[in-house]
Chains A and B, each alone.
Chain A
Amino acid sequence: AQKITQTQPGMFVQEKEAVTLDCTYDTSDPSYGLFWYKQPSSGEMIFLIYQGSYDQQNATEGRYSLNFQKARKSANLVISASQLGDSAMYFCAMREGLDTGNQFYFGTGTSLTVIP
């Protein structure tokens, strides 16, 4: 089974609207971390937000929030007030365990296009 599943290859959103990018994960480890990265056309991977499996509250970072539903094993990224600069590929990732260097698993990504 895929460790990380992103079912939306492409998404469009109107500027200033909110958008949700879906991510589901699969693990039997009780300790894990969930990450979202943005990859603009320049190619660099930019860290956006992190959610730990034991965190009680959903993570937020500025316009980014992570809708963490542990029982459903989903970690959707919500971008509020979309901007043209948000157009990029977005990758969901998971690290199992708490030890340094555990492998990260990445999803196949969602391409987001913000329409003026």
Chain B
Amino acid sequence: GAGVSQSPSNKVTEKGKDVELRCDPISGHTALYWYRQSLGQGLEFLIYFQGNSAPDKSGLPSDRFSAERTGGSVSTLTIQRTQQEDSAVYLCASSLGGVDTQYFGPGTRLTVL
């Protein structure tokens, strides 16, 4: 079956513009996670969804960041008024539930000029 997919794979934008990043989880996976990875760094947790609800938004860096998930499937991470420090790879992962492993997508590389 298909793995986690993310689009676009690369996004270059100008400072101040809004961007939307999309994640398609593995079919049937109820939990979905967003992470950010800056160059040469580890993973920074942003937000997770259980179904369509987001019990934990504590990792969102600022109110410019928001995310939603519809139909218990696709999720969109939106960054408004992008800043240069938002440049990073944004990774999405999904898991089946319980003690299950997270499976990652290939990421979206965001560059803010």
Query: Number of B residues whose C-beta is below 8 Å from A?
Result: 30
**A45, A46, A108 — which one has the most chain B CB atoms within 10 A of its CB?**
A45
Give the docked Cα–Cα distance between A76 and B91 (Å): 25
Interface of A is mostly: strand
The minimal Cβ–Cβ distance linking B3 to chain A, given in whole angstroms, is 9
**A33, A47, A101 — which one has the most chain B CB atoms within 10 A of its CB?**
A101
Contact with B along A38-65 (1 / 0, CB 8 A): 0000111111001010000000000000
The minimal Cβ–Cβ distance linking A48 to chain B, given in whole angstroms, is 10
Show the binding face of A for B, using Cβ within 8 Å.
33, 35, 37, 42-47, 50, 52, 91, 93, 95, 98, 100-101, 103-109
Q: Nearest 3 pairs between A and B by C-beta? A: A45-B104, A100-B97, A106-B43
Subset of 5 A-B contacts with CB under 8 Å? A43-B109, A91-B43, A101-B48, A101-B55, A101-B97
Show the binding face of B for A, using Cβ within 8 Å.
30-31, 33, 35, 41-43, 45, 48-50, 55-56, 59, 89, 91, 93, 95, 97-107, 109
